[in-house]
Amino acid sequence: MNVTVFGTGYVGLVQGAVLADVGHHVICVDVDDAKVERLKKGEVPIYEPGLEPLVKDNYAAGRLEFTSDAAAGVKHGQVQFIAVGTPPDEDGSADLQYVLAVAETIAEHMERDQIIIDKSTVPVGTADKVRDKVDAILEARGRKDLRFDVVSNPEFLKEGSAVSDCQRPDRIIIGTSSKQTEDVMRELYAPFSRQFDKMIVMDVRSAELTKYAANCMLATKISFMNEMANLAERLGADIEMVRQGIGSDPRIGYHFIYPGVGYGGSCFPKDVQALIRAADAIDFDAKVLKAVEARNNDQKTTLFQKIDRHYQGHLAGKTFALWGLAFKPNTDDMREAPSRVLMEALWEAGAKVQAYDPEAMEEAQRLYGSRDDLSLCGTKEAALRGADALVIVTEWQSFRAPDFELIKQQLSEPLVFDGRNMFEPKRMAIKGFTYLSVGR
C-alpha cells in the first residue's frame, strides 16, 4: 500500500520504517526541514535500537522516503497517518494544535477518498474534531464529493524497544465503525498479525480511551510501588523482598512493579495529566489518577532529599558523579526525566554534577550545555573522578557490574545513592560502601 506518515518522531519514524520494511511504500512528512534533510542523508536523529539500519535499508530500497512537501505527502498515501506530538497545554490537557494542523493539511490537498489514521495519543472526541475540521475545509474547497474516514489507531511502542514493539505488537487497536475502513486497516497490518489475530476493533471513542487507560494503569503500578517503597523505608522492611513476594501472584505479576525515582518520559506524565484534565472538564474527579500524579511528583524529589539529609543541608561546593540521564535505559530521551529534577535541585543547592549516560549526552548538551556546574563526561569512570559521591538515576545495563574498587578510589568517600536498586545492600556494605537505595 502507499502510506503517508505525518511526523517523524519516535512514533512516526519507527512506524514508517517498520511499515516500509514489510513492503509498503511509505512517505514520511515532517515540518522540521532540518530533520528531513538529516534523514535524507541517512542520519537518524533519535536513538532506538535497530532503527538506523532499518531506515537506511528501506530508504536505499526506495520504499521509505522523507519530505517536507505536505502536498506531495497527501497525494501519495491511500492512508494518512497522523503521528505528531500532543504535548501538554498550559493547564495539562493535550494540546491538539499539531494534530489539527495535519488534518487541515490533508483536507487542503486531498484529491481522492482517504482514510486518516490517528496514531498520536489524543483525548476522547479528537477523531470528531479531526472529522469536523476536514469536513469544513472540503466544503470550503467545494469538494464535498470526497469521502474520508477518521480511525483511531493508538500506538503502544515503548521507547528503547520501539522497533521490535512495532514489528511484533501485542495488539493493534482499531477504532472505527466502518467495515470498509476496517478491511483497509486489516490489509495494512496483515504482516504484523499472522501469528494470531492481533486486531481489536472497537468504536473510535473506546480506542482513544484505551491508550490513556493503558498508560495510566502502568503509571499507577509505578506510583503504587513507590508508595510501598516509602512505607518500607519507614517501617524497616525491604521493598525488593516485598516486590518478589507480591509479583509471584499471577494476578499482580512481576512486570512494572520496580520501585525507583518516579516515571518520566514524554508519555506517562503528560497522559496521566491529560486524562485528569479531560475528567475535570466533564466534572468528574479522577481521584486515583490525581494520587498517581502527586506520588510521582514527590518521588522525583526523594533522591535529592536523601542526599541533602546525608549532608545535613551542606551541599554547596560538593560534586556528584551522576550515572544515567535518560528517563529510562535504551533511549536518549530526557523529557520529564527524574535526572533533570535531581540535577536542578543539586545546582540550586550549590553542588556540581559530573554526568555520564550511554546515549543521552547530546541531549544533555542541548538542554544544559551552557552551565558551568555540569560536566558531561565521556565515560562512567570519568564522571567519578574527584566526585564526593556517586548517584545512579537510570538503570542502564552497563552500570550493573561496575569496578567497585575504582569507584572507591575515585570518590572522596565510598558513598553511593542508588535510585534504581541496582545492587545488594549487604554486598555493598561488605565492599565498604555507604549505600542508600530506594525502599530498603
Residue ranges at the known binding site for substrate: 156-159, 211, 256-260, 264, 328
Cβ of 42: how many Cβ atoms within 10 Å? 11
- Which among 207, 218, 211, 174 is positioned nearest to 86, based on CA atoms? 211
CA angle, corner 271, sides to 269 and 277, nearest 5? Answer: 105
Hey, which residues between 252 and 281 contact ligand NAD (CB under 6 A)? 266-267
Q: What radius of gyration do the chain's Cα atoms show?
A: 24
**Among residues 25, 35, 109, 133, which is the contact residue for ligand NAD, using CB under 6 A?**
35
Return the bridge partners of 418, or none. 392
Q: In whole angstroms, what is the distance from residue 362 CA to residue 357 CA?
A: 10
Closest approach, Cβ 137 to ligand NAD, in A, equals 14
Closest approach, Cβ 377 to ligand NAD, in A, equals 27
Q: Which residue in 166, 216, 267, 377 is the catalytic one? A: 267
CA angle, corner 15, sides to 329 and 101, nearest 5? Answer: 105
Please tell me whether residue 223 binds ligand NAD under the rule CB under 6 A. Answer: no
Residue 398 is given by DSSP the state: G
Binding region for NAD(+): 30, 35, 86, 121, 159, 270, 335
Closest approach, Cβ 67 to ligand NAD, in A, equals 10
Q: In whole angstroms, what is the distance from residue 7 CA to residue 369 CA?
A: 27
Dig out the grid coordinates for 317 from the structure. Answer: 561546593
Please tell me whether residue 29 binds ligand NAD under the rule CB under 6 A. Answer: yes
Is residue 392 within 8 Å of residue 324, measured between CB atoms? yes
The mark string for 78-97 relative to ligand NAD (x by CB under 6 A, - otherwise) is -----xxxx-----------
Q: In whole angstroms, what is the distance from residue 194 CA to residue 217 CA?
A: 28
Please tell me whether residue 306 binds ligand NAD under the rule CB under 6 A. Answer: no
Residue number of the CB atom closest to ligand NAD: 9
Dig out the grid coordinates for 269 from the structure. Answer: 506524565
Nearer to ligand NAD, 153 or 299 (CB): 153
Binding region: 30, 35, 86, 121, 156-159, 211, 256-260, 264, 270, 328, 335
Please tell me whether residue 65 binds ligand NAD under the rule CB under 6 A. Answer: no
**Among residues 59, 66, 81, 98, which is the contact residue for ligand NAD, using CB under 6 A?**
98
The H-or-E segment that residue 29 falls in is strand 25-29
Type of residue numbered 134: V
Placement of cell 542508600 in the chain: 436
Dig out the grid coordinates for 429 from the structure. Answer: 556494605
Please tell me whether residue 130 binds ligand NAD under the rule CB under 6 A. Answer: no
Closest approach, Cβ 81 to ligand NAD, in A, equals 10
Closest approach, Cβ 241 to ligand NAD, in A, equals 32
Tell me if residue 267 is catalytic: yes
**Among residues 4, 8, 210, 437, which is the contact residue for ligand NAD, using CB under 6 A?**
8
Nearer to ligand NAD, 14 or 438 (CB): 14
The phi, psi pair for 57, rounded to 5°, reads -60, -45
Nearer to ligand NAD, 169 or 260 (CB): 169
Q: How far apart are the first and last CA of the chain?
A: 54
Which three-class secondary structure state does DSSP give residue 353? strand
Cβ of 60: how many Cβ atoms within 10 Å? 10
Please tell me whether residue 10 binds ligand NAD under the rule CB under 6 A. Answer: yes
Dig out the grid coordinates for 25 from the structure. Answer: 511504500
Please tell me whether residue 120 binds ligand NAD under the rule CB under 6 A. Answer: yes
- Which among 300, 338, 275 is positioned nearest to 94, based on CA atoms? 275
Which of the ranges 10-18, 138-146, 364-372, 395-403 carries the binding residues for ligand NAD, by CB under 6 A? 10-18
Nearer to ligand NAD, 36 or 346 (CB): 36
Please tell me whether residue 30 binds ligand NAD under the rule CB under 6 A. Answer: yes
Closest approach, Cβ 331 to ligand NAD, in A, equals 8
So which residues are the catalytic ones?
267
Which positions touch ligand NAD (CB under 6 A)?
6-12, 29-32, 35, 83-86, 98, 101-102, 120-121, 155, 157, 159, 266-267
